[in-house]
Amino acid sequence: MMGKRILLIVGGGIAAYKSLDLVRRLRERGFSVRVVLTEAGSQFVTPLSLASLSGQEVHQELFSLTAEARMGHIELSRDADLVVIAPATADLLAKAAHGHANDLASTLLLATDKRVLAAPSMNLRMWLHPATQRNVATLRGDGMLFVGPGDGAMACGEYGPGRMAEPLEIVAAVEAALAGDTTIPLPFAKPGPLAGLRVIVTSGPTHEPIDPVRYIANRSSGKQGHAIAQAAAAAGASVVLVSGPVTVPDPAGVNTIHVETARQMLEAVEASLPADIFIGAAAVADWRVGAALAEKLKKGASGPPTLGLVENPDILATVASHAQRPRLVVGFAAETEKVIDHAQAKLARKKCDLIVANDVSPATGVMGGDANTVHLVSKSGVETWPTLPKAEVAQRLVAQLAARMGEGGA
């Protein structure tokens, strides 16, 4: 269960204090927990407590410009492996049963493609009311999972069903839910060839600081990596795109994480594992300045400075040898000579399943351009494609990867 992502919706009930403990218990077991706090929930627990315990920003508003810029509410609802509502109030269940979408929590429940586990918590009369029981029956029919409520003394002084399940019971229910398939297929939709698969793509250059105003970079535009992320999402995959600094827009339907340096890129990639497919399309800087300066370098009598370079971690090689290695690991090789020889060497050295090799000599216009001529290099041989728009290279590559996954691996 290590690395599984939980989206926890904290509703407005006195049991919300137990959700603080729930966050701790989930994190102890290696889950990452992102919290959505409803307006009513914030009357019982503070966003600060939840942010401190989850180690992540707490989401509260549907229309939040800053939050939407980083991660839209659709992505928020889909990036999780499981959505948990605790406490699930009578009001939240009623909204979910009727498909309301007038705040962040209800919108996420409607937009998610993952199973939802609810831990109801309310006064016993509210729980036993036919309206609530009808809503729960509807939600069960829709596939919602429930844990509790239990019998017990309630904060309101009455005794009976309505008490929220204890944090450890909820954790057990989370683990049981995750043991099955938690993706809800779209009704009537034709599933794409990568449906149900998780794909991580790196794209763009990295910027390695020299001092606060200068950096080392390369000419990568991110066009090819972004096109691949978009094509994978169009093929039904759930895609995380880890992008260096680029000017191309974030692809729609993709969870894009922005980073600057190679080390940040590696960190974001490892945090996004596990995945079924990894595609390293980024032009990661091979070196960084060993000791980047905190103050701007000044000209001086001692002449031009010498930059001591150290090697960056190799993201592709790290992922290919990772304990959570994706089934397919795909690298790129940007070469200016002996394209295929170098790509074959890279395939073996970095232990990947496939290398997409391209000639990036200035005359080709590949770096920053819109077309690409690639060779697919794998253990079974070399396949050379004609010069194609990058979007088409992306679609063909995704189709190849889907076929390889279908064959049961590399």
CB of 237 to ligand CTP, least distance (A): 19
Residue 187: asked if its preceding bond is cis (omega within 30°), the reply is no
Q: Would you say 36 or 199 has its CB closer to ligand CTP?
A: 199
Q: Would you say 57 or 286 has its CB closer to ligand CTP?
A: 286
CB of 308 to ligand CTP, least distance (A): 18
Residue in the structure block whose two tokens are 């036993």: 128
Residue of 131, 137, 155, 156 with catalytic role: 156
CB of 64 to ligand CTP, least distance (A): 33
Return the axis-axis angle of helices 167-179 and 16-28, rounded to nearest 10°: 50
Could you tell me which residues are beta bridge partners of residue 372? 388
Q: How far is CA 406 from CA 39, 87, 193, 288, in A?
A: 45, 41, 9, 39
Question: Between β-strands 215-216 and 277-280, what pairing exists: parallel, antiparallel or unpaired?
Answer: unpaired
156 classed as catalytic = yes
Binding interface with ligand CTP (CB under 6 A)? 202, 262, 280, 282, 284, 286, 312, 314-316, 331-334, 346
For 106, the token pair is 């209800």
Q: Would you say 148 or 251 has its CB closer to ligand CTP?
A: 251
CB of 108 to ligand CTP, least distance (A): 33
Phi, psi of 68 (to 5 degrees): -65, -35
CB of 355 to ligand CTP, least distance (A): 8
Q: Would you say 154 or 262 has its CB closer to ligand CTP?
A: 262
Q: Would you say 29 or 338 has its CB closer to ligand CTP?
A: 338
Which residues are part of the catalytic machinery?
Answer: 156
